[in-house]
């Protein structure tokens, strides 16, 4: 097998399994582990994967501040927010996460909707401050400036005291093998607390979050009820989630 063919195989394997372990791949391809490690180093230099001990993982998305994230995929995020907002029914209690896609959700909630929104995001609270029929409950804590949300042990305690119908989660990374992951350990714990205090978790996944993985697990895909993605997302990217019984909403 030529080097170019071997590298393509490695990238295909990474996309399929969410990781590469050098030893079994070297045995499968009948080449040395050193050859596979060299291929992985070169692919990492090309910015196509992330090297780890013994193999490789998909690229981790960069940590971008909230203000800067507003200019990333704005049209796609608005579409996702609109579709997610249509899932909220009158009389429900819902958790809404922080993040730019979740702001779009809050912005598109129907003017005649009667509901209660619980959030740790000042941005969500301000967005809903003029909504006539939505009661807003703000959960406090130490401000995590990257995402402009409250975090800490008291935040988790307050979340656990609420039983919500739905949790709308903004994500850093979404992958069919590694699940829902975050760049920040504490933020992952907050999202996990929200998810486990809600009857259903709905993940809002803009195009830049798909097929990526980050270091800290939030929840496995088995705990996700629905994913909202853009209508033009390639079917092969959606199929692995559908195969796991997750409902897909196309925005």
Half-sphere exposure of 133 (CA within 13 A, CB side): 11
List residues bridging with 117 in a β-sheet.
94, 136
pLDDT of residue 74: 59
Under DSSP, is residue 160 helix (H, G, I), strand (E, B) or coil? helix
Integer Cα distance of 19 and 17 in angstroms: 5
Burial class (CB in 10 A: 0-12, 13-18, 19+), 112: exposed
DSSP 175-206: ETTTEEEES-HHHHHHHHHHHHTEEEEEEE--
- If you search the block for the tokens 């490789």, which residue do you land on? 56
**Per-block average pLDDT, block size 10, for the chain (251 residues)?**
86 80 90 91 82 78 50 74 97 95 96 97 96 97 90 96 97 86 92 98 87 87 95 89 95 90
Q: Among residues 200, 205, 122, which one has the least CA distance to residue 166?
A: 200
Q: Among residues 149, 185, 146, which one has the least CA distance to residue 65?
A: 146
Dihedral angle at the C-alpha atoms of 87, 88, 91, 96, nearest 10 degrees?
140
pLDDT of residue 16: 74
Q: Among residues 53, 66, 139, which one has the least CA distance to residue 103?
A: 66
Burial class (CB in 10 A: 0-12, 13-18, 19+), 132: exposed
CA distance readout (Å), 23 to 2, 28, 32, 118: 19, 9, 8, 47
CA distance readout (Å), 203 to 4, 52, 91, 120, 175: 36, 27, 21, 17, 12
């Amino acid at each position: 097998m030529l080097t170019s063919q071997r590298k393509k195989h490695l990238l295909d394997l990474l996309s399929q399994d969410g990781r590469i372990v050098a030893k079994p791949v070297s045995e499968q391809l009948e080449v040395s582990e050193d050859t596979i490690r060299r291929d992985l180093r070169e692919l990492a230099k090309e910015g196509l994967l992330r090297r780890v001990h013994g193999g490789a993982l998909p690229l981790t998305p960069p940590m971008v501040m909230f203000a800067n994230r507003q200019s990333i995929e704005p049209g796609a995020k608005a579409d996702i927010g609109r579709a997610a907002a249509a899932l909220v029914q009158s009389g429900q209690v819902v958790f809404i996460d922080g993040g730019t896609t979740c702001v779009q959700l809050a912005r598109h909630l129907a003017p005649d909707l009667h509901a209660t929104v619980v959030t740790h995001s000042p941005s969500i609270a301000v967005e809903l401050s003029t909504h006539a029929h939505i009661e807003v409950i703000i959960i406090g804590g130490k401000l995590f400036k990257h995402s402009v949300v409250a975090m800490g042990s008291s935040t988790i305690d307050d979340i656990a005291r609420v039983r919500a119908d739905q949790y709308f989660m903004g994500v850093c990374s979404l992958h069919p093998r590694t699940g829902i992951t975050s760049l920040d350990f504490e933020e992952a714990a907050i999202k996990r607390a929200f998810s486990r205090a809600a009857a259903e978790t709905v993940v809002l996944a803009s195009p830049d979050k798909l097929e990526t993985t980050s270091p800290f697990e939030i929840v496995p895909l088995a705990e996700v009820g629905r994913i909202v993605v853009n209508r033009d997302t390639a079917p092969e990217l959606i199929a692995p989630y559908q195969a796991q019984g997750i409902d897909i909403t196309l925005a």
